Amino acid sequence: STPVSDSGADRGLWSSRLAFILAATGSAVGLGNIWKFPYVTGENGGGAFVIVYLICIAVLGIPIMMAEVFVGRNGRHNPITSMRLVAERNLKSPLWRVSAIVGMIAAFAILSFYSVIGGWAASYIGHAAQGDFTGGTADSIGELFGGLLASPGQLLIWHTVFMALVILVVSRGLKGGLERAATILMPALFLLLIVAVGYATTTGHFGEAVDFLFTPDFGALSINGVLIALGHAFFTLSLGMAIMMAYGSYLGRDVSIARTAVSVAFMDTVVALMAGLAIFPVVFANGLEAGAGPGLIFQTLPLAFGNMPMGGLFGTLFFVLLLFAAWTSGISLLEPVVEWVEERTSLARSGSAILVGVLCWALGIASILSLNVWSDVAPLDMFARFEGKTIFDLLDFFTANVLLPLSGLLTAIFVGWFVAKESLMRDLNLEGVGFSLWYNLIRFVTPVAVIIVFVYNLTA
C-alpha cells in the first residue's frame, strides 16, 4: 500500500497559515456570497436571518470544516486515500472513503457547470469595458444576456477560457499554482470589494441597503428561512466536496485547525455582507427589483451600471471581481481529483491537471447545450419531481441537494464517532471546553442538522 509520510514535507506544504486561509477563503468566496447571500438575507428578515445564519456557520459549518481539514492533514494524501488511511489507523473499515468519493464526484460535476457560469463573468468584463451596457434598457440588456445563452459557440469559447485558467493554475502545483493564485487574487478581490462598497455609498441609497440587509424582522423569518440558512452555511464554505480535505493535506502540523476554520468562515461572511452593501445600493438607486441569481448579476446590475456615472468603470471592476471569485473556487474544485490522479497514476501534476480538466470541460458541454439546443431535453421527465429539468438543472440539483450533504454527513459521523478521541484532541490542538464543544457539535448537532436539510431539500 501507499507509503505514508507523516511530516508531509516531501509532498509540499502551504508556506504559511495565511496562505492556507487565503486559498480556503478563495474556495469559499464565490457566487454564493455574491448572488445568493445578499438576496436571501433581504428576503428572510434581514438581521434576523443574519443571526440565524451565523449560528448555522458556528454549529454546522465550522465543525464540518474542521473535520474535513483534520482528515486531510492526518491522511496527508488525496481525499480518498486520506479517508482510507485515517480509517485504517483507527481500525475502522476502509469503506469510509466513500465520503471522499462522493465529495469528489460532486466537485467534478459542479466544476463542469461552474466553469460555464465563470465564462459568463469573463465575457461580461469585455462588455462592461466596451461600454455595451451604457444607456442600456431592460430590453437591450436582456437581449445581450439571452443572446449569450442562446449561442453554443460563444458559451463554448468562454467556458474554454475559464477552464483553461483553472487548469493553468492547478497544473503548476501547490506553491507556484494554488498558493500563488490565492495570494494575488484574494487581496485583489478584497480591494475591489472595498472600492465597490465605496462606490455604492455615493449612490444615495446606501442606507436603504443597510436597512434591507440588517434591520432584524423576526416576523419575516420562517422555518423555511432557517432551513435556507442551514443549507447555505454548507454551500458557502465549500463543504462536502472533499475540497477542505485536499487543502488540509498540505497544512503544516503546527497550525491550529480550529482557529484557521474560524478565520475562513469569518472572511467568507464578511465578503457576503460586503457584497450586499455593494450591490443593493446600486439596485435601489435605479429602482430595480432585488431578485436573486443570474438575473440579478447578469441583467439587473448591468442595467444599473449602464445608467450611472462611471458605471462603465465600476461595472468592469465588478465583473473582474466576480471572475476572480469564480476562478479561485474553480481551482479548489479541480484540485481534489487532480491530487488523486497524480498520486494514483504515473502522470505528473501537469498531466493530471490537463486530463481531469479536459474531461470536466467535455462534461460542461452538456450544460452549455442545456441552455439552448437541448433546452427541451429533460432526461428524468418521467418523474414528476424532475419534470422539465435540463441536464444543467439536474447536475445542479443532485450535487447541491444529494451529494454534498451526503458527503458532509458521512464525514461528520466518521470523524465524530469512529476516530479515536485522543487523535482528534492532538490533531485539532484543542482541549477542555473548546474540544467538548466541537466534539458534541460534530457527534450530535451537525449530523441532525444535515439530515434535516437533506430531507427538506428532497421533499420541498
List the interface residues with ligand PHE, window 98-117 (CB under 6 A). Answer: 110
By the rule CB under 5 A, 286 interacts with Na ion: no
C-alpha cell at 406: 451526503
Q: Which residue type does 90 have?
A: N
Stretch that binds Na ion, among 185-193, 219-227, 267-275, 279-287 (CB under 5 A): 267-275
Block residue for cell numbers 460534530: 442
Nearer to Na ion, 237 or 255 (CB): 237
Write the binding mask 328 to 357 for ligand PHE: x where contact by CB under 6 A, - elsewhere. -x--xx------------------------
Q: Are 102 and 407 in contact (CB under 8 A)?
A: yes
Tally: H helices and E strands in the chain: 24, 0
By the rule CB under 6 A, 236 interacts with ligand PHE: yes
Q: Which of 447, 18, 23 is nearest to 240 (CA)?
A: 447
Q: Which is nearer to Na ion, 101 or 400 (CB)?
A: 400
Radius of gyration of the chain (CA): 21
Nearest to ligand PHE of 33, 390 (CB atom): 33
**Could you tell which of Na ion, ligand PHE, none binds residue 27, using a CB distance below 5 to 8 A set by kind?**
ligand PHE
Q: Which is nearer to ligand PHE, 30 or 357 (CB)?
A: 30
Task: Report yes or no: 241 and 107 within 8 Å, Cβ to Cβ.
Answer: yes
Q: Tell which one of 23, 27, 31, 33 touches Na ion (CB under 5 A).
A: 33
Calculate the CA dihedral of residues 18, 20, 23, 24 and round it to 10 degrees: -110
Decide: is 61 part of the binding site for Na ion (CB under 5 A).
no
Smallest separation (angstroms) from ligand PHE to the CB of 112: 12
CA-wise closest residue to 246 among 410, 80, 10:
80
Helix axes 152-171, 98-129, angle to 10 degrees: 120
**For ligand PHE, which stretch binds (CB under 6 A), given 277-285, 326-334, 383-391, 440-448?**
326-334
Among 227, 238, 197, 245, smallest CA distance to 78 is for 245
110's contact among ligand PHE, Na ion, none, with CB below 5 to 8 A by partner kind, is: ligand PHE
* Owner of C-alpha cell 483553472: 166
Least separation in angstroms between CB 261 and ligand PHE = 14
**Alpha-carbon distance 353 to 335, whole Å?**
8
235 vs 250 by CB, closer to ligand PHE: 235
* Contacts (Cβ under 8 Å, ≥6 apart) of 382: none
Q: How far is the CB of 95 from ligand PHE (least distance, A)?
A: 25
At 352, the amino acid letter reads S
Which of the listed partners (Na ion, ligand PHE, none) does 333 bind, with a CB threshold of 5 to 8 Å by partner kind? Answer: ligand PHE
Q: If binding is defined by CB under 5 A, does position 32 make contact with Na ion? A: yes
Angle at 130 between CA 124 and CA 132, to 5 degrees: 70
Rounded Cα–Cα distance for residues 294 and 31 (Å) = 10
- Is residue 348 within 8 A of residue 341, CB to CB? The reply is no
| Region 212-241 residues binding Na ion, contact defined as CB under 5 A | 236
User: Residue 71: exposed, middle, or buried by beta-carbon count in 10 A (0-12, 13-18, 19+)?
Assistant: buried
Of the candidate spans 58-66, 96-104, 230-238, 382-390, the one that interacts with ligand PHE by CB under 6 A turns out to be 230-238
**Which of 28, 128, 255, 277: binder of Na ion (CB under 5 A)?**
28
> Closest CB to ligand PHE among 238 and 316?
238
Q: Which of the listed partners (Na ion, ligand PHE, none) does 352 bind, with a CB threshold of 5 to 8 Å by partner kind?
A: none
**Cα separation, 396 vs 405, whole angstroms:** 13
Minimum Å gap between C-beta 346 and ligand PHE is 28
Q: Tell me how far apart the alpha carbons of residues 91 and 211 are, in angstroms, rounded to a whole number.
A: 54
Total number of residues that touch ligand PHE (CB under 6 A): 14
Which residues contact residue 131 at a Cβ distance below 8 angstroms, ignoring those fewer than 6 apart? Answer: 312
For Na ion, which is the closer residue by CB, 249 or 269? 269
Regarding 31 and contact with ligand PHE (CB under 6 A), the answer is yes
Nearer to ligand PHE, 284 or 298 (CB): 298
21 part of the interface to ligand PHE, by CB under 6 A:
no
Rounded least distance, CB 431 to ligand PHE, Å? 31
Helix, strand, or coil (residue 44): coil
| CA dist., res. 398 & res. 401, Å (int) | 5
* Closest distance to Na ion from the beta carbon of 381 (Å): 33
Q: How far is the CB of 27 from ligand PHE (least distance, A)?
A: 5
Decide if residue 32 touches ligand PHE (CB under 6 A): yes
In the DSSP assignment, the letter for residue 379 is T
**CA terminus-to-terminus distance, the chain:** 45
Q: Does 367 bind ligand PHE (CB under 6 A)?
A: no
Please give the Cα distance from 77 to 339 (Å, whole number).
8
Q: Binding string to ligand PHE for residues 110 to 149, with x set by CB under 6 A, is what?
A: x---------------------------------------
Task: Give contact residues for Na ion (rule: CB under 5 A).
Answer: 28, 32-33, 236, 268
Residues that bind ligand PHE (CB under 6 A): 27-28, 30-33, 110, 235-236, 238, 241, 329, 332-333
